[in-house]
Amino acid sequence: MDILHMFLEVGFWMAVVRMATPLLFGTLGELICERAGVLNLGVEGIMAAGCMAGWTWVYMGGDLWGGVLFAAAVGGGIGLVHAIFTVHLGLSQHVTGLGITMLATALSSFVFRMVLPDVTTPPKIIPFAPLDIPILGDIPLLGPVLFNQSPLTLLAIFMVFFIGWFLKYTPAGLALCMTGENPMAVESQGLSVFAIRTCAVVAGSALMAIGGAFLTLSAFDAFYIGMVNGRGWICIALVVFSSWKPSKALVGVVLFAVFDALQMRVQQDISMVVPYQFYLMMPYVLSIAALILMSRRSAYPKALLVPFRKGER
């Protein structure tokens, strides 16, 4: 069998990293929200909004990085709505998040149709070109896999380390983690739980939207309705898998992407006897299995899902 052979192929690993990028943004975004104690089930919708916003910006004549920033702003805006409902009004995070997903998904399709009422084939834009970094790109295997990629991929990898450092070594990161553990402790030290949670949800949602924008500005060159295709939900599972740690999130995302890439290769192989749907299912089955194994031990933020109300104990 040439599965072994496939693992040694540069193209396979490049595909893995490409598939991992949007998941990495989404997972890190969700992780930031949850570390502050707010579950954001809006991730699927926010990614869809990011897809649409980024693509529309570029289609209207803006440049690619402008599209990324615009997507982040739209994502942050939707995050703000989520924060107002769940943090300031203390409503159910589950219900609000699901509502946000439905709203943002539908709104993305709606706006897309408004912009292009009469088109049947989605128009294309010119996406990010792979980077061509001189020395680093020439390292065998590692060079093309890591550096011959979209700049957004490098940004995603950078974010893993940045967020890891932020949470561990900065005063603001400490305040954020503490808010997810015991909001009362934060309030009694003179900080505002509302402000911290709002900032976390807005920033996290902006990251999710960049993950969405990667799909239209880098992975593909057009916007399709339903193109996020469940990635947002996977991100929520991956956060649990990661035990709320950015480094483990990277491991989880890559693992999932490997299964996904494997699945795509294997289903192209016509000689296979097993129907392709089986392989399509594999990444999800394996991620459920991994979740069951990992999440038994994971230490979730103690105040996750608990709305904070001032003056109550």
Closest contact distance (angstroms) between CB of 187 and another protein is 7
Percent helix, percent strand, percent coil in the chain, to nearest 5: 70, 0, 30
- Interatomic CA distance for residues 53 and 250, integer angstroms: 26
Least gap, CB of 177 to another protein (angstroms): 7
Using CB under 8 A as the binding rule, whether residue 299 contacts another protein is answered as yes
240 forms part of the interface with another protein (CB under 8 A): no
- Scanning 1-9, 12-20, 118-126, 170-178 for contacts with another protein by CB under 8 A, the matching segment is 170-178
Q: Does 169 bind another protein (CB under 8 A)?
A: yes
Q: What type of residue is 142? A: L
Residue 189 CB neighbours (<10 A): 9
Which residue in 2, 105, 127, 5 sits closest to 57, CA to CA? 127
Residues 6+ apart with CB under 8 A from 124: 221, 222
**Can residue 104 be called a binding residue for another protein (CB under 8 A)?**
no
Cα angle: 22, vertex 25, 26; to 5 degrees: 85
- Both tokens assigned to 155: 């940004």
Helix axes 193-214, 10-35, angle to 10 degrees: 160
Among 91, 160, 191, 306, binds another protein (CB under 8 A): 191
Give the nearer residue to another protein in terms of CB position, either 163 or 208.
163
List the one residue from 171, 270, 277, 292 that touches another protein (CB under 8 A).
171
Residue 225 has which token pair? 């309705």
Residues 283 and 194: beta-carbon distance below 8 Å: no
Window of 31-39, 139-147, 172-180, 265-273 that interacts with another protein by CB under 8 A? 172-180
Total residues contacting another protein by CB under 8 A comes to 23
Residues of span 47-76 touching another protein by CB under 8 A:
none
If binding is defined by CB under 8 A, does position 140 make contact with another protein? no
Which residue among 81, 175, 203, 255 contacts another protein (CB under 8 A)?
Answer: 175
309 touches another protein (CB under 8 A): no
Q: Which is nearer to another protein, 113 or 302 (CB)?
A: 302
Nearest 5°: CA angle at 58, between 53 and 59?
A: 95
The residues of the shown chain that bind another protein, judged by CB under 8 A, are 169-172, 174-175, 177-178, 181-182, 184-191, 299, 302, 310-311, 313
